[in-house]
């Protein structure tokens, strides 16, 4: 895994988010970063979005998968 300057902070912020909203709270949300193409700017923006959600108490929106699709 390639690390950027924000990777550790992003992982800590993910943990804080899950602690506040629940362990499965990030399931079915829009991906915040591309794990195959690390990008420091994308990670910085993801950290901001997660921290905003934590401080406001409003979780990120969840996408509802279409019915009839089996994963």
Q: Report residue 3's pLDDT band, with 50, 70 and 90 as the boundaries.
A: confident
The average pLDDT across 49-62 equals 96
Nearest to 18 by CA among 62, 50, 45, 48: 50
1 confidence band (pLDDT: 50, 70, 90): low
Measured CA distances, 26 to 19, 62, 71 (Å): 11, 8, 17
Neighbour-count burial of 61, counting CB atoms closer than 10 A to its CB (0-12 exposed, 13-18 middle, 19+ buried):
exposed
Q: Which two tokens stand for residue 56?
A: 């406001």
Could you read off the pLDDT of 30-54 as tens digits, one per residue? 999 998 888 999 999 999 999 999 9
pLDDT at 15: 96
Report percent pLDDT > 70 for the chain. 96
């Amino acid at each position: 895994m390639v690390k950027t300057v924000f990777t550790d902070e992003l992982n800590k912020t993910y943990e804080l988010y899950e602690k506040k909203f629940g362990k499965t709270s990030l399931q079915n949300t829009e991906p915040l970063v591309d794990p195959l193409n690390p990008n420091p700017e994308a990670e910085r923006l993801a950290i901001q979005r997660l921290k905003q959600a934590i401080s406001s108490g409003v979780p990120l929106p969840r996408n509802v998968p279409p019915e009839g699709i089996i994963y």
